[in-house]
Amino acid sequence: MTMHNPPHPGEILRDDVLPTLNLSVTAAARELGVTRAALSRVLHGHAGISPEMALRIERWLGVERGGRAEVWAGMQLDYDLWRARHGKAA
């Protein structure tokens, strides 16, 4: 995957959160209440963190463990703005 500045928030979930929690994609999807395919699209940068997904992450991780919805939605916005500024396809 091409690295961006800032990274897609799915990369953070994939590379930091899931390994820290020792969870597979399937287990994390189950805990989030989404399909494995839907979570996989986010983890690989093929889908963004929607407001609904940000709220799911907040309920899943809890605010005290870095799950605040506004943070995840903000990371997605930062990523999307970076791509728009650099003429990347959305």
Domain ranges of the chain: 9-85
What is the per-residue pLDDT for 65?
86
Measure Cα distances from 76 to 24, 72, 80 in Å: 22, 6, 6
Closest CA to 76 of 18, 84, 31: 84
Q: What pTM did the predictor assign?
A: 0.88
Average pLDDT score, the chain:
93
CATH value of 9-85 in 3.40.50.300, 1.10.260.40, 3.40.630.30, 1.10.3720.10: 1.10.260.40
pLDDT tens column, 54-69: 999 999 999 988 899 9
**CA trace torsion 6, 38, 25, 66 (10° rounding):** 50
